[in-house]
Amino acid sequence: MNTFSTFLPILFLLLFIPIFLSGRKQRKQMQEMQHMQAELSEGDMVITTSGLRGTVVDSGYEETIDLEIAPGVVTTWLRAAIREKITQPAGDGSESDSLVGATEIAESSTNDNSGGRATA
């Protein structure tokens, strides 16, 4: 019985420590997310929780934010719906370079004679 009484507190510690540490990690992530959402300003590129990409047009409201999702199309979102802020890649910041590269790759893969199979 003495072994059981010493084993029980150790068992509780082994179960409690991972739960405690994961809770701390989640709270830290939540605080970082709320800070990012509060610091959004006009011109920031963001992605919403539903995967929509847009540019912040107006961030003057406390709980909502206006995003331009296409030229001339502005929608209003809750700040809590913003998942991440996109940082501009190095260079001139245009998306056309990455789109041209993707188009060239797609064209080269459809013009080969492998019939859609990878060759070594």
Give pLDDT tens digits for 58-77: 988 889 999 999 999 999 99
pLDDT at 55: 94
Contact 66, 75 (CB under 8 A): yes
pLDDT at 104: 45
The yes-or-no verdict on residue 103 having pLDDT over 60 is no
Q: At 57, give phi and psi (nearest 5°).
A: -100, -40
Q: For the segment 8-59, what is each residue's pLDDT rounded down to a tens digit? A: 888 888 888 888 888 888 899 999 999 999 899 899 999 999 999 999 999 8
Fold entry, domain 2-86: SH3 type barrels. (2.30.30)
Would you place residue 1 in the very low, low, confident or very high pLDDT band (cuts 50, 70, 90)? low
Mean pLDDT of the 84-92 span: 72
Quickly count: other Cβ atoms within 10 Å of residue 119's Cβ.
Answer: 7
The yes-or-no verdict on residue 83 having pLDDT over 90 is yes
The yes-or-no verdict on residue 98 having pLDDT over 50 is no
